[in-house]
Amino acid sequence: MPDLVYAVHNVVHRYRTPSGEVTAVQDVTLDIPGGGLTVLAGPSGSGKSTLLRVLGILERPTGGTVSLYGKETVDLGERRRRALRRSLHLVFQNPVDNLFTYLDVRDNLRAAAQLAGAPEPDMDLLDRLGLPGTANWPISALSGGQQQRLAFVTALAARTKVVLADEPTSQLDTASAGLVIETMLDLVRLGVTVVAASHDDAVLDVADQIHRLGDR
């Protein structure tokens, strides 16, 4: 059985708003094994994006525990949380939010590697993952689907083993979404654990495991 990447136990997350307290995540318990594509599914408002931010060590839950590779993350100091966060790669809904738009494709891969302390990346990654001939392109020359694919390729440049993706196909047309899904599966085949928050049936259809969150 693959090693556990995440062990989540009784996680609750609440926000304070001007109109009162809102519960975004209520008593979630789940395990995410290494390798494979795990999808956090549910309608808008079900808390899947909030839970992904908790998994990404961007937010501390109100209650419960979250372990990453056996290391409890919730009660760590901010310095140690930042160090763990650097071992993860996050892909956001809007493709341009994932990239340095003032750099070309090659330099985006190099920047991802440098920030992670990884060696100079092999530009063959672009050929292997569906972006051949784009190394010198500015980000503005890529379609939205290509930008999102590049966001996942930068995870490999950074030698990241866990990728967290928040609705990675929601802003793409069907054809572009299909190519992004194929790139996620390519990462899985290369040994990366991908966790995606999504309500896209096409993503759910290829998931290795699905955790469904209820509407709140």
pLDDT bracket for residue 1 (50, 70, 90)? very low
Percent of the chain whose predicted confidence (pLDDT) is above 90:
76
pLDDT bracket for residue 2 (50, 70, 90)? low
Average pLDDT over residues 132-159: 95
Q: What is the side-by-side strand order in the sheet with 20-33? A: 20-33, 4-17, 63-68, 71-72
Look at residue 10 in the predicted model and tell me its pLDDT: 95
Look at residue 216 in the predicted model and tell me its pLDDT: 47
Please report, in angstroms and rounded to a whole number, the separation of the first and last CA atoms in the chain: 33
CA dist., res. 176 & res. 105, Å (int): 18
CA–CA–CA angle 163, 159, 197 (5° rounding): 5
Percent of the chain whose predicted confidence (pLDDT) is above 70:
98
Residues 4, 18 contacting (CB under 8 angstroms) = no
Domain map of the chain by residue range? 35-57+85-212
Look at residue 15 in the predicted model and tell me its pLDDT: 85
User: Across the chain, what does the average pLDDT equal?
Assistant: 92
Average pLDDT over residues 18-31: 88
**Three-state secondary structure of 86-154:** CCEEEECCCHHHHCCCCCEHHHHHHHHHHHHCCCCCCCHHHHHCCCCCCCCCEHHHCCHHHHHHHHHHH
Count of positions (residues) in the chain: 216
Closest residue by Cα to residue 210 from 196, 190, 191, 189: 196
Look at residue 155 in the predicted model and tell me its pLDDT: 92
Residues 67, 27 contacting (CB under 8 angstroms) = no
At the topology level, CATH places domain 35-57+85-212 in Rossmann fold (3.40.50)
For residue 168, pLDDT beyond 80: yes
Residues 6+ apart with CB under 8 A from 36: 2, 188, 193, 194, 208, 209
Q: Which residue has the higher pLDDT, 38 or 22?
A: 38
For residue 16, pLDDT beyond 70: yes
Residues 95, 147 contacting (CB under 8 angstroms) = yes
Query: Rounded to whole angstroms, what are the CA distances from 61 to 108, 125, 160?
Result: 32, 36, 24
pTM of the model: 0.93
Query: Rounded to whole angstroms, what are the CA distances from 26 to 13, 55, 64, 154?
Result: 7, 15, 10, 33
Residues 42, 190 contacting (CB under 8 angstroms) = no
Helix (H) or strand (E) holding 4: strand 4-17
Closest residue by Cα to residue 98 from 84, 108, 88: 108
pLDDT tens-digit readout, 43-102? 887 889 999 999 999 999 999 999 999 999 999 999 999 888 888 999 998 988 999 999
Which segment, 2-11, 18-27, 48-57, is predicted with the most confidence on average?
A: 48-57
Q: Which residue has the higher pLDDT, 139 or 46?
A: 139
